[in-house]
Amino acid sequence: MNETNRATAREIANQYLSKGDALGWFEELYAQANGDASIIPWADLIPNPNLAAWLDKHKIRGEGRKALKIGCGLGDDAEELARRGFDTTAFDISPSAIAWCKRRFPETSVLYVIADLFIAPGNWRSAFDFVLEAYTLQVLPMSFRQKAVEKIASFIKPGGTLLVIARARERTEEEGRMPWPLTREDVNGFKSCGLMEKSFEDYMDNEEPRVRRFRIVYEKKIE
């Protein structure tokens, strides 16, 4: 990621946070980019390698099951899920991001939706076999995270799967600057929402410089 672009994103985010708006900066950033993906610090225009490696390792095939991508950005992860056979819905709070996805992938099978995680459509509740949360929680202020965790967990069908990928840190380490690495305690909130932890990876990725990540698989309990 370009550090200059990350600094710009932080500046825009801080402007909105100072006004008590923790989410408005996403649209501001995508709108300012005006079609230039290099301005978006997390837009590599390829599927997240931490996602692709997991899908490959476990030979995941969608077989028509329903998947949801949280905070889809420019769509690469959603398209990868669709390519692997999932009936995929992807949403972002930014209308500019969703319009950008539709321009990039005009023949897509993905349903791209403008939506706010915290007031998502009611018919998404318990509607998805597979939910992907990658890098959204880590750009939300701490005061928003537990509510976000609860909303994400609510989308999963009983017996369904949630995959979480995030930057990681110890609770004793400084939180640092946005994107704020998550602690084990942050992600443990999913277990209080009816999810069982099936696997937990704490590893250094292959970026330069290398970044510590969590990659966690949860399953929703069948009542």
Q: What is the DSSP letter of 168?
A: B
Q: What's the confidence (pLDDT) of residue 18?
A: 87
Query: Is residue 90 classed as helix, strand or coil in its secondary structure?
Result: strand
Can you give the pLDDT at residue 8? 87
Distances (CA, A) of 1 to 26, 79, 166: 17, 21, 15
Bridge pairing between strands 156-167 and 128-134: parallel
Rg, Å, the chain Cα set? 16
pTM of the model: 0.95
CATH number of 45-220: 3.40.50.150
Cα-based distances in Å from 81 to 4, 104, 170: 30, 16, 31
Q: Across all residues in the chain, what is the average pLDDT?
A: 94
Whole-Å CA distances, 212 to 149, 173, 175, 192: 21, 13, 13, 25
